[in-house]
């Protein structure tokens, strides 16, 4: 029975000091409804449709002030996988956020919500209508990302554009609830 080897370095030596972010792995990013990047998986292979051969996984949990909703800490668990696809080494770390970093995290998180919502909108109402609606709410999108979320939610809720009123629930209701989750 041989030494267990990590996928990242094909060796039994600890992979902890290797900067896997620059190694050319295929990153699969996962966001929750709030727009938080909660999982990044680094795969050796991607064929355009599916990922395989997981080498490293980062799991992130954001801790927020209950009153303000601002993030003050992130707990990240990194798992490096062995050649036999089992976890070989796990490390957990904490990052504390300054007010500036917390504000930036909020903008990034709400931008992720806008991106997810926009892609969903393209699928629901088609490219031409989605572009029309996104142009219609451009200013409100900018203020949403900066932290004033209600104007965009109100604009979506009060729209009378026909393509936003189809379905049950309507497109505007679906989009509104997605935006609401990003508060």
Domain ranges of the chain: 20-97, 101-181
pLDDT digits (tens, 9 = 90+) for 158-180: 999 999 999 999 999 999 999 99
The residues near 151 (Cβ < 8 Å, ≥ 6 apart) are 140, 143, 144
The residues near 180 (Cβ < 8 Å, ≥ 6 apart) are 153
pTM recorded for the entire structure:
0.89
* Mean pLDDT computed over every residue of the chain: 96
What's the start-to-end Cα distance of the chain, in Å?
Answer: 53
State which H helix or E strand residue 52 sits in: strand 51-64
Residue 116 confidence (pLDDT) above 50: yes
State the pLDDT at residue 144.
Answer: 98
Residue 10 carries which DSSP code?
A: S
State the pLDDT at residue 145.
Answer: 97
């Amino acid at each position: 029975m041989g030494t267990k080897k990590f996928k990242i370095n094909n060796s039994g030596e600890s992979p902890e000091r290797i900067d896997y972010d620059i190694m050319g792995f295929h990153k699969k990013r996962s966001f929750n409804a709030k727009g938080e990047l909660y999982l990044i998986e680094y795969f050796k292979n991607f064929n355009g449709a599916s990922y395989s051969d997981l080498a490293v996984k980062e799991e992130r949990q954001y801790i927020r002030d209950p009153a303000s909703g601002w993030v003050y800490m992130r707990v990240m668990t990194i798992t490096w996988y062995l050649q036999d696809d089992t976890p070989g080494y796990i490390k957990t770390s904490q990052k504390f956020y300054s007010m500036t970093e917390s504000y930036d995290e909020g903008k990034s998180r709400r931008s992720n919500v806008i991106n997810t919502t926009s892609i969903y909108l393209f699928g629901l109402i088609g490219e031409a209508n989605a572009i029309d609606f996104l142009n219609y709410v451009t200013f409100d999108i900018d203020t949403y990302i900066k932290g004033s979320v209600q104007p965009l939610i109100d604009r979506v809720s009060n729209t009378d554009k026909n393509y936003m009123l189809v379905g049950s629930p309507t497109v505007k209701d679906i989009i509104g609830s997605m935006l609401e989750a990003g508060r």
